[in-house]
Amino acid sequence: MFRDTYDFDGYVVCDCGGIQSIMTRHNYTSTIPDTVAAALHAGVDLDCGSFYNTNIPIAFANKTISETDIDQALSRVFNVLLRLGYFDPPEMQPYRNLSRIDIGTHQAQQLAFVSAQQSLVLLKNVNQSLPLHFDQLINKTIALIGPSANATLLMLSNYHGQAPFLISPLMGFQSITLSI
């Protein structure tokens, strides 16, 4: 299981509608109690939607899940909340002081930039072609191909607020080439 393989000590949250799709789209299960059991037993501790909320009592009454299954999921969630200081007094929680006015500030943008840099994963680097070195790009042509080359809103998906600005891959490369 991934918890052992990756030494994962957190909780797993399912995308909204994801648990229900085990039954309705993937046809992996055929009943609601079996769907709840499959998700819980696979290690999904929390549902961002309402499928668990509505159907865990049904699965429990049907005996497809046990109190131990529920306790395990709750234990994982509350363990993380405790480690994050969620139940600590407000004065011990620096993030409780943040509000909407902290969104889009220079400090927030710098943190987002560093987070993006640190979270990039390169799956394959044929001939060690990456990272690109700017001095090697002089008098060269780079082709950005595909429907997302100049995408901005598309890249946000549906989990976003109001972005202070959007930069497409094309815009990013254009800004680099202007500085070379």
Choosing from 7, 9, 15, 34, which is the catalytic residue? 15
Contact yes or no for 155/147 (Cβ under 8 A): no
Sign of CA dihedral 149, 151, 179, 132: negative
The residue type found at 137 is L
Contact yes or no for 46/11 (Cβ under 8 A): yes
- 3-state SS class at 13: strand
Please name the residues in contact with 14: beta carbons below 8 A apart, sequence gap of 6 or more. 39, 44, 46, 47, 48, 49
> Is position 15 annotated as part of the catalytic site?
yes
- DSSP letters, 19-33, are HHHHHHTS-S-SSHH
**Active site residue ranges:** 15
